[in-house]
Structure 1
Amino acid sequence: MKEQHIIEVNKDICIGCSLCKNDCPVNNIIIKDKKSVIKNQDCIKCGHCVTICPTKAITMTGFDEPPIEFTKQHTLDSNELLMAIKSRRTIRKFKNKEVTSEIIEQIIESGRFTPSAKNAQDVSYIVLGDDKSKYEEIAVKFFRRIKPIVSLWMKDAKEVTIDDNFFFKKAPIAIMVVTKDKISGSLAASNMSLMAESYGLGVLYSGFFTSVVNNLPKLRKHLNLKSKGHVVTTLVLGYPDVKYRRTAQKEIANVRYL
């Protein structure tokens, strides 16, 4: 985490119910004199104690916004969710239609609230909008140069045409997910793509652009990426200009029950 956060207990309203103590994943809370006591401030600051307290006696400093109160328990329809997953396709044809800033903010918000390893919250995002063609141009030139080499170990690459829109497919938006931890970044990207699709957007995971960014110093410099900034994936987003009518067939899952 970038900021320092202090966990505080308001003993005037703490009822000593032990909910926070029992739910703390690092055993950092004790009950003393029927009140919650934080052992030290070196925990992972996961916020479980804040979210579970029935009297709002536990708070955490250093955030720009208060916790959101739940008026109900939010659940997803399991059948609808499964069909949404089954019907997902990688989109490579996009309409010439703008994606609003409000939708982009919601997509990033779904990434922000995705759990991260040790609650590091070290995932960041680079939104490529109207000026993304200049970054794509650099990547295209590089990829054209290395295509003969790539074709030696990737047979499909021989048949690929690298045009000027090879990476972003004329989509209006691309979002780069940046973090040192690949798992945290991948989880965030997965939630972001689901959120994008809930708005009717199509998604392309541009692995090629991601690889170029991580290996081309010139492009990293243009994107102002620091040396430790690893791009986990690039989500290319826009309204799809293609309609799929049925699911793609998949092989049976390889599962072992022990």
Structure 2
Amino acid sequence: MMTSISDNCCRCKKCEQICPVSAVDIDNNNISDDCIKCYHCGAICPQKAINAEYLPGTVTQNNISPYDFELLMQQRRSHRKFSNRKVAPEILTEFINHLRFSPTASNLQTLNFTVVTNQDKIQEVNNLTIDTLTGAYNSLNAFTKPLIRILLGQHRLVQMEQSKRKFLNKKAVNKQMITYNAPAMIIVHSPTSPVGMPCHDANIWTGMAILYAELLDLCTCINGYIVNAAKRNNKVKRTLNIDQSETVYAALLIGYPHNKFENTVGRNLPLIKTID
């Protein structure tokens, strides 16, 4: 919580008007316990009168055109073949530090990051994930199918059977089907809590990260299998030295690309409903 307003306050009350929780009270020189540390007040204050950490310079409009951003979105692809070039841990640390300005769902800023460049550890996560999910898929059998059909319906049962078939078929031909020999991996995790929205925060961060990586000539692959396995098997977190009180919300494979995608291909247009 921010607690003070300095004497150079010009009483413009822009901070009061921008505060999403009405925590700022200029007349009484007070910021209440309702403060969520979004720092909108500090960002808008012309006098820098709020006790926030101010970075050098001021915010100015960037020179990225909408067209440039559209091209960036179009060129981004999930990579499952990485070059042999290693990614230095300090580059990944700087990468994560720069992404601290990523938006959050509730501004609690609870996300923690584990960076893995040790190939033995990455291989162990690959094997643990395959074993864990194979066990989960094998629980879909002649005994459980009737119950799933009753509880979830025939359509959902068919989807689960298709998912099982694809996973086991892929496992049979590719023993690196989880981590794909990636040179590095970023695991996003947070203390488990009934308040806040760390799952949404992790999803937002990951979306920002895969675009930022493109600008650094890095390539990425979001890996839901590892997240799924970490929820089912505590050995995954132990392997990564993640406290058992925390939940893994995202896993990102990252490295330098082996392939260059030459063409932009289409995607389905979304269904859009407008209420005016």
Flag whether TM exceeds 0.5 (same fold).
yes
- Whichever structure has more helix as a proportion of its residues is 2
Conserved 8 A contact 1:91-1:204: yes
Number of the residue aligned with 2:66: 78
Q: Which of 90, 94, 98 lines up with 1:106 in the alignment? A: 94
Post-superposition offset of 1:192: 1.3
Task: State the shift of 1:158 in Å.
Answer: 4.1
Is 1:198–2:225 an aligned residue pair? no
What residue identity is the alignment partner of 2:111? V
TM-score w.r.t. the length of structure 1 is 0.85
Q: Does 1 or 2 have the higher relative contact order (CA < 8 Å, sep 6+)? A: 2
- What's the counterpart of residue 139 of structure 1? 129
Per the TM alignment, residue 105 of structure 1 is displaced from its structure 2 partner at its CA by 2.2
Counting matched residue pairs gives: 245
**Does 2:114 correspond to 1:126?**
yes
Q: Do the aligned partners of residues 164 and 251 (structure 1) sit closer, same or farther apart at CA in structure 2, a change above 3 Å counting?
A: closer
| CA–CA separation in structure 2 for the residues paired with 1:175 and 1:95 | 17
Amino acid in structure 1 at the alignment position of 2:225 = F
Question: 1:41 is aligned with what amino acid?
Answer: D
Q: Distance in 1 between matches of 2:229 and 2:69?
A: 33
Tell me: CA distance 1:158–1:138, structure 2 relative to 1, closer, same or farther (3 Å).
closer
* Percent of aligned positions that are identical: 23
Which consecutive unaligned segments of at least 5 residues does structure 2 have? Answer: 141-159, 193-197
State the match for 2:17 in structure 1.
22
**Once the 2 structures are TM-superposed, how far is the Cα of residue 145 of structure 1 from its aligned partner?**
4.6
Q: Which runs of 5+ in 1 are unaligned?
A: 61-65
Superposed CA RMSD? 2.2
- 1-structure distance, mates of 2:69, 2:133: 37
Distance 1:198 1:102, change over 3 A: farther
Distance in 2 (CA, whole Å) between partners of 1:168 and 1:157 is: 14
Q: Does the 8 A contact of 2:129 with 2:225 survive in 1?
A: no
1:63 paired residue number: none
Answer whether contact 2:2 2:31 (CA < 8 A) is retained: no
The alpha carbon displacement at 1:143 in A equals 4.0
Indicate whether 1:152 and 2:161 are aligned. yes
